[in-house]
Structure 1
Amino acid sequence: MRHRKSFMQRIDDYLAVRRQAGFALKAEGAQLRHFARFAQQIGHRGPLTTQLAVRWASSSVGGRRLTAARRIEVLRPFAKYCRQFDPETEIPPRALFGAAHRRLVPHVFSDDEIIELMARCDGLYPPHGLRGASCAAIFGLMASSGLRTAEATALTRSDVDLDSRLLHIRCGKLGKSRWVPIHPTTADILRRYARKRDRDPLTLNSEAFFVFDFGRPASTHSVNYAFHILCDTLKWRPRGDHPRLRLRDLRHSFVCHRLQEWYAHGLDVDRSILALSTYLGHAKVTDTYWYETATPELLAIAAQRFVSCRRGTS
């Protein structure tokens, strides 16, 4: 009888093949390994089946259909790969839980909320340590420049030119790099942070720009953890469609505020949005256009523009 590889072994093989083709698959890899652990925990034996896929997809915390649909979407290409080696493999239908992609309304932080969030960083443990100062600087940078969390935490000292007020983003999404200009006030805050950071001798040998206590570079996990602690302390609740506040909403807030500002000042948003898309590191300008309907306020503006266009006054 031919030996059947475990799901974890098959997943390792699958990810290796896809990554050789240039796909990063970080989130997908984590999801697939979660699937393998789930199958092992429930004692599943045999090939991947639709029944197993449904059971795993439905087991997410909260049981949201969108989450389940996205799990099926991750599982389908892996199932197709497995079928090459095990003909008994079943490929779960795409629409088992409906559409896997739906743009959810983000929580748009107000200026007062961002200021409060940064101020509360002083209360992070250890008192007066670098953790609080680093988180405050990262939150402020994301809110004022729209950086992704991973882009901010990956910054090195050589990536940050405060005299020219430029950041070199080397590890953007899909491996793309770009230069990001920052506002003079943002540069001043980062300069003050850097002076405080360098007063700690344990940070001097670190190449990372944002450093926690004992010279440890800030990570996306540690910054996200601190963010959720602060939001729980403040008892904030999300105003968007997501069940929980997310650190990436600082990036979304930057874009929404920028568009609202442009509309308020009568700027031609259609002419400026390509520059904004490049600034944000979006792969497609359509990803940036989505923000025009991301909040009720922007949706109302878009609707008014549509009406004006129909009347020939746009």
Structure 2
Amino acid sequence: MTDLPDGMISPQARDALARWLTHLRALDGAAGNTLTAYGRDVSGFLAFLARHRGGAEGTAHLTTLPLTDLRAWMAHERARGLSARSLARALSAVKNFTAWLADRDGQDATTTLSARGPKYRRKLPRPLSEDGAQAMLDAVGDQHSEDWIAARDSAVVTLLYGCGLRISEALSLTGASHPLPDVLRITGKGGKTRLVPVLPAARDAVARYARLCPFDLTATEPLFRGARGGPLNPRLIALVMEKARMQLGLPATATPHALRHSFATHLLSAGGDLRAIQELLGHASLSTTQAYTAVDASRLMEVYEKAHPRA
């Protein structure tokens, strides 16, 4: 959503929004990007109401809004080209804000909280096959003529696939993480920490990189370095994977994040427990992890169709 002028929002509503965001940051540990998105979504909603209702208002009316006002806002956002997925996220932010107001002021926000968002098809993760993932790990290490850079790229992608890390999590590791322990403590989204077992292949790949790296990997500096010694830009890993996937004939969906998806899907295929996979990935909600059950079922159906073709 685009930013809207603060002048369209009453000082009382603007103050309430700031207090709510502070609450999310302090008590719920919401990440900075999440807070920015929530603030933008709710600001847009409040500005729309000011226009729709003929002027800026306080907060008392927000917990008793008729559904017609909420539907008018959603129709407005859709007409502006907002996707169903983004609108569902914005409505979730508005509901969260309204529920906080209602709880603070002792009001009943049932009407607002009962509003239904647009339906959208949740995008399924696009993992690589087990052979494809292994081929990618092998090919990434062949893309650069400098041994230490090739070893670095190989170590990063091995962490993504072998430990299910996000690219930001892998690149946030410092020299203090080397040599890799048996279990890594990872700080993920929202500042939440989780414990991730380290496979020997990942430990060996990082150790090889560290031996070849020409820079001093001090405890407080990034573990993975760029060519000039600064922090490694995640775009470089995306580019090296792009080159590798073109050589291997893999689809454009074979990205760094796809390796994390592959980690989860292959664990599930091997009989991994969904709750355990949720913990390893750092998902706040099991419903996010459950997307991998749909992926697994889809792959099983593909195998079934090939083994039992229709006459």
**TM-score, L = length of structure 2:** 0.64
> Are the equivalent residues in 2 in contact too, given 1:137–1:189 (CA < 8 A)?
yes
State whether residues 15 and 29 of structure 1, in contact with CA within 8 Å, keep that contact through their aligned partners in structure 2: yes
Aligned letter for 2:97?
Answer: F
Indicate the percent of aligned positions where both proteins have the same amino acid. 17
Task: Tell me, in whole angstroms, the C-alpha distance in 2 between the residues paired with 1:6 and 1:133.
Answer: 56
Query: Is 1:176 aligned with 2:193?
Result: yes
Shift of the 181–22 alpha-carbon distance from structure 1 to 2, 3 Å rule, reads same
Q: Give the Cα–Cα distance (whole angstroms) in 1 for the partners of residues 45 and 275 of structure 2.
A: 45
CA distance in 2, matches of 1:170, 1:290: 22
Q: Which runs of 5+ in 2 are unaligned?
A: 1-8, 63-68, 305-311
1:12 shift after superposition: 3.1
For 1:9 and 1:131, the matched residues in 2 are separated by 50
Are the aligned partners of 2:133 and 2:262 in contact in 1 as well (CA < 8 Å)? Answer: no
Residue 255 of structure 1 aligns with an amino acid whose one-letter code is A
Q: Structure 1, residues 150-190: CA drift from partner, whole Å, max 9, x if none?
A: 3322222223434xx5242241456233142212x322211
Match of 2:91 in 1: 72
Alpha-carbon distance between aligned partners in 1 of 2:198 and 2:154, rounded to the nearest angstrom: 19
Q: Counterpart of 1:207 in structure 2: which amino acid?
A: E
Quick one: structure 1 residues 228 and 71, their matched pair in 2 at CA, closer, same or farther if it must change by over 3 Å? Answer: farther
| SS at structure 2 position matched to 1:209 | coil
Question: Contact 1:72 / 1:92 at 8 angstroms: preserved in 2?
Answer: no
Matched-pair contact (CA < 8 Å) for 1:208–1:217: yes
TM-superposed CA distance for 1:105, in Å, is: 1.7
Task: Tell me the residue number matched to 1:200.
Answer: 215
State the shift of 1:205 in Å. 7.1
Give the aligned partner of residue 268 of structure 2. Answer: 259
State the Cα distance separating 1:29 from its structure 2 match: 0.9
Alpha-carbon spacing, 1:8–1:214, altered in 2? closer, same or farther (3 Å): farther
SS at match of 2:91: helix
Which moved further from structure 2: 70-79 or 170-179? 170-179
* Correspondence 1:159 to 2:165: no
Residue matched to 1:94:
115
Select 2:205's aligned residue among 168, 177, 189: 189
1:35 to 1:276, Cα distance in 2 relative to 1, 3 A: closer
The one of 256, 273, 276 aligned to 1:247: 256
Give CA-to-partner distance per residue, 1:103-143, whole Å, 9 cap, x none.
43211122266237724763xxxx95987764442222111
Aligned to 1:168, what secondary structure does the other structure show?
strand
- For the 8 Å contact 1:155–1:209, the answer to whether it is kept is yes
How much does 1:251 deviate? 0.9
TM-score (norm 1): 0.63
